[in-house]
Every structure is written in structure tokens, then in C-alpha cells.
Amino acid sequence: MSILILGGNGQVGFELQRALAPLGKCIAPGRQSLDLKDAAAVVRLLDELQPSLIANAAAWTTVDAAEKARDEAFRLNAELPAQLADYCVSHSATLIHYSSDYVYPGDGDMAWRESSAPGPLSVYGESKLAGDEAVLTSGADALIFRTSWVYSARGHNFMKTMLRLAREREALSIVGDQIGAPTPARLIAEVTLLALKQQAEGRLTSGLYHLAPRGETSWHGFAQAIFRHAEVLGEALRIQPDQVVSIPTANYPTPAHRPLNSRLSLDKVEQALGITLPDWESQLQLTLAELLEAA
């Protein structure tokens, strides 16, 4: 099997290269060899490689910057997935695409289901929703995984930023009224591999699935857990978990609006795959251990 991984240098893309290697040859072109903003370049690559599986982990992920770069965000988050889906339809290939909790309006306190009405609050959310809809209506053999608060032991993410700040400061103020589930890229890749195996056996149908760990927390709670588990692992920090102050989103204005409720129902994916997803805090412990052991 020839596997094309887009966004291979990112958090999810890196983990996909490790997870999907047993399935076949993985090709993950970097930015220097493939400009994903160039639709013609993408066509040339697809014609050259003729992949039978495409894992699209590429995206415009700078949420605030998207407010002033709408065209660029829509190119990567909407037009590119549509382009990949069209290729998969015409070449009988499979597409894996990753989406975001930001497609939902973020109100209430109930977990969003795959059937919940979307209502993005930002250009980023609008672009991700447009990409999802393009893939779903294309007729492609595609799996879409909507996830939340992605982080890993590499790249730039909240966990690594918090650890850096905790070595420098004795107090921090973190938003406490946005609720969701921090999702490690490693878990996304592992579930993707399981889904592909079950799909090949005819036990999983194409479509949209939520993918995140069980449980919920706030960014404030996430930060406290990062510091608590880092200390257990022997990391010397200047700040203590109880020195992290919880503040409302209103006190931390950003160009793009963030959803307050990013809870995702996991019933569909767990039933489809016959699994129980792990809780977010146990996943944090594993990811922290990976990061600190490599340091």
C-alpha cells in the first residue's frame, strides 16, 4: 500500500508516520518539497505517487491569524480536503481527514454528537467545517475524525508552553471556563490505525467520528495537571498547581472567538471500533513521560 501523509512534520503527521508504517510505504513530503497552497503542485504529486491511502494531517491551525488570512485558511482547511477527496473518488483510494471541535458553536454543557448542528465562531472553525462538508459530500471512501486540544511531546503546544512558563514564573493566570478534552497526537494516530484495519475487514463504515480521550477539564485544570504530573516525574518547577489562577475567557480577549463547550461525545467511535477510549489525564502522564525522558 502506498500511503501519502500530508502535514507529516506536524504533531499528528509525525505520529501517523510511526503508526501507519506497518501498513505500507509512507511518503510525507515536507513544506520545502510541496507547497500545499499550490493546488497544481498537489495535483502533480498525486499523479506521480498514485497513493491508495491519504492521511491529511495538514491544516491552517493558527486560529487567531486566520481572522485576517481567510483565503489561506480556506485553501488549506477546505479546498485541499476537497481536492484530496476528488482524487480518492476517481482513483478508488481512501482518505483520512482530521477536523476540530471548533466547528461547533460552543454553548451549553452537553457533549456534541456527530449529528449536532455546527455553528463555528471563527474563520478557522468555518474553514474546518467547509472541509468536512466537502469530504462528506464527495462520495469518497473517507474517515473524518473531529478532535480537540491536540498536543504531543514534539512541536508547539499548550503542554510544552506551560512547562516552559512553569520553569520561569511563580504565578500564572489560565482560562478556566473553556471545557474540553486534551488529546495527544499519539492517541489520534493509534485510533486511526485501528480504524483502518477494521475498515479493511469491512467492520467500519466511512463517515464522521469524534476522537478524544474520555473525561473533561478546562485549560486551567489542564495546566494544573501538567504541573502536578511533571513534578511526580522529577521536573523542577517554580510554580505550584495551586498558584495557577483561573480566569474567564472574557478576561483574555483574542481576535478569534473560542468555544466554551468543546465536549465531544465518544459513543459513536467507541461502539464502531469496540473500544473504550482512555481518560485524558492518563494520556497526559504518558505524553509528559515521553517528553521528559527525551530531554
Q: Catalytic residue numbers?
A: 124
Q: Which of 150, 156, 153 is nearest to 183 (CA)?
A: 150
Which distant-in-sequence residues (6+ apart) come within 8 Å of 25 by Cβ?
A: 1, 2, 3
Tell me the CA end-to-end span of the chain in Å, nearest whole number: 35
Which distant-in-sequence residues (6+ apart) come within 8 Å of 122 by Cβ?
A: 63, 66, 67, 102, 256, 257, 258
37-49 burial string, b = 16+ CB within 10 Å, else e?
eeeeebeebbeee
Distance CA 183, CA 30 (A): 24
Distance CA 26, CA 5 (A): 7
Can you list the alpha helix ranges (DSSP code H) found in the chain?
11-20, 39-49, 70-74, 80-91, 123-138, 158-168, 185-200, 219-232, 267-273, 280-294
DSSP string, 39-71: HHHHHHHHHHH--SEEEE------TTGGGG-HH
